[in-house]
Structure 1
């Protein structure tokens, strides 16, 4: 097996790992929490209603202005980084085709969209 086979296979395996492993670890964490609660119930301890409510409610929070702005700045920085890497990479190697600049526009435009949405989002971030 040469590098022309190993590199794509490892690349695909890394994509699967990045997508699947967080689900696995979240499930494992949830299983451990349930095991702990079962042990406490078996010993006769009372479970506070706040714990049960925290486990059953959805933890996904609505988007806020600050969260949209942060997400937009991160996406914009990724787009600028890809664009600069393409520009300087082509500049140094002398190709002059700058083909990656079109790809850099995708995260940059997503970032600009998030930044614009942050101005129209009525939800404000609560300070703790």
Structure 2
């Protein structure tokens, strides 16, 4: 890692670690530029700029709060629809069980009727043959 050069008030250069160079140099009365050269100053925003930035941040926060509220409402609607769907699924499942039971009863009745019809049709020719 390269060292940063800063200068004391008499112009003597000093090497500092880059992480703390600025704070260390300025704290000790040093500058980041050699004597006679202008140091590039950091930009300091004006009060108007800071207030405008604050207003923008507050507007973004309000928009995010509104979006969060809409998402929460949508989640609640989805959860309610899921509950409705679950109740409907249970009702349809019960209806399916009933229909399957009715179908089984109907199939058994049809099989019994078919067996009775077969038995009746075989009995009549046997009785006719005896007579």
Does TM, normalized by the shorter one, top 0.5? no
Higher strand fraction (1 or 2): 2
TM-score (norm 2): 0.28
Higher helix fraction (1 or 2): 1
Where relative contact order (Cα < 8 A, 6+ residues apart) is larger, the structure is 1
Larger radius of gyration: 2
TM-score (norm 1): 0.28
